[in-house]
Amino acid sequence: MMQNSTVYKLLLVITGATYFIASKYLFNSVYDAIDVVIDELFHIPQGLAFCNRNFTYWDPKITTLPGLYLISTAFLGSYFECNTYNLRFINLIASTINFLLFASILKFVYGNSPLKTVLQALNFAILPPLYFFAHVYYTDTLSLMFLLAFSRLCFTNNYKLPIIILGYLSVLMRQTNIVWIAMVLGHKVLDIFIKSSRVFGNNQLTNMSLRKDSMIAKDVDNSKLKRYYGITDVYIALKYHVTTCFTTFFHYLTFNDWLIIFMHSTVLISFVAFVYVNGSIVVGDKQAHQATIHIPQIFYFLIFYGVFGLPCVLNKFSSTFKLMFSNKVKIILLTALFAAIVHYNTIVHPYLLADNRHYTFYIWNRWFGKYDFAIYASVPVYIFLLVNLYANLKNQNCISFLLPYSVCLFVSLCLQKMIEVRYFLIPYIILRLRFARPSLSMILLEFVWYICINIATFHLFFNKEIMWNDFEEPQRLIW
């Protein structure tokens, strides 16, 4: 064990240093290539104003809370010069911290071999859309850093004050992070909801049967607690708690549980108050960011999963088809439902059609927007990827995670009109962290795949010039 710990720390230091040095070289190249990358037009002047202690200036086009600029102020101005390079450099530092946080989470949850843990952490850090934004002054990298730190502390719940501080900081970086804080709370409460019904002698449990091949069947102990629960367990627990007026639910709660629930609830209630006072979840440009029911966002997220989770998709390729053929009626019904959704609820934001500096512009205009049948022809791909995702998750994930996650995924994606690759990052990372322990060959394939995508996208960034009338210098293609 001691030897493993030493190897892990050594690998972590060497890989982290290599990651930072290589990224720093690329960072300098990005800085030399262009002064302002799209939304930096708003972020950089705002960051410069704050780190020069001008807190009265606010660009009305900025939609997020001022977390990014406040963190910039904490380090720039007093200790380092306020300029574009240093503003961007904050995200490169945060990206390296994210690598360490990924490693810590993976080690705590899975306890894999040191090599697999560090390699997987590196893969998360170089996830192509995430990795790109580590080189520019956007909110995504810092937003993820605080959310990862918050999540890591929530595994043990030993550090109460830091948890609540990190919760507020996560939301201050990006408002939509409130959804994932709510998910952590939902996971905790639902887990207690199910377990409390079992510990106090739920008679309904005698009617329960388990498949022999299910991992759940191997984890039942004398107190009728299991490692993983399904939707049937929620129904059984609900039936039990209704008949007992929820009294045993409260008996099961410890003081520590109450404290954790209170802290999470404080962040959530504060956010509700902010939305009420502000009149919207976004700070500025409210007209262009109105909440809209947009269910196909889930389908675009599946495409994101298919591209960046390709090694995981291939790993369950054959079992996906087996699942589809053994559930033909469900697949037919799903296909009809998905076709109806894309027919009645496909929405196109004006920004998507107007901004040719994003990959989504070309995907839409050369497929969905070009052919009338494209939205329907894509449905089989959505079905396959959904079943594939299920194949990667089944028998190893508890409903106490899957149910809150599904609700939060819908809220975070399906209330937004704009299709933005960055919106899919956190939901994908959460899912990827929940997959079963991958083999070393799969981790290496993922690493090579991400390296190839990053080489291709940075090559396009440096070499494809897009002329806009509003800018003197050529614009660049980004995620």
- Write out the two tokens for 477: 């293609």
How high is the pLDDT of residue 291?
Answer: 80
Structural element, H or E, at residue 257: helix 255-278
Phi, psi (degrees; rounded to nearest 5) at 264: -65, -40
Print pLDDT tens along the chain (479 aa).
556 788 999 999 999 999 999 999 999 999 999 999 999 999 999 999 999 999 999 999 899 999 999 999 998 987 889 999 999 999 999 999 999 999 999 998 887 789 999 999 999 999 999 999 999 999 999 999 999 999 999 988 777 889 999 999 999 999 999 999 999 999 989 988 888 887 665 555 544 444 444 333 333 334 456 667 888 888 888 988 888 888 878 877 888 888 888 889 999 999 999 999 988 888 877 776 678 899 999 999 999 999 999 999 999 999 999 999 999 999 999 999 999 999 999 999 888 888 899 999 999 999 998 899 999 999 999 999 999 999 998 877 788 899 999 999 999 999 988 899 999 999 999 999 988 788 899 999 999 999 999 999 999 999 999 999 888 889 999 99
Q: At what angle do helices 177-199 and 231-243 cross, to 10 degrees?
A: 60
Pairwise CA distance, residues 135 & 132, whole Å:
6
Give the C-alpha distances (Å, rounded to integers) separating 33 from 130, 196, 256, 418, 464: 19, 58, 52, 28, 11
Other Cβ atoms within 10 Å of 341 Cβ, number: 17
Give the list of residues 6+ apart from residue 398 with CB closer than 8 angstroms, or none.
191, 227, 228, 229
CA angle 310, 24, 422 (to 5 degrees): 40
Looking from the CA of 121 toward its CB, the CA atoms found within 13 Å total: 32
Check: CB of residue 244 under 8 Å from CB of residue 201.
Answer: no
- Whole-number Å distance between alpha carbons of 92 and 22: 11
Residue 80, strand partner residues: 76
- At 437 the pLDDT is 80
Pairwise CA distance, residues 384 & 389, whole Å? 9
pLDDT at 343: 96
> Taken in order 123, 124, 128, 133, is the CA torsion positive or negative?
negative
CA 446 distance to own-chain centroid = 18
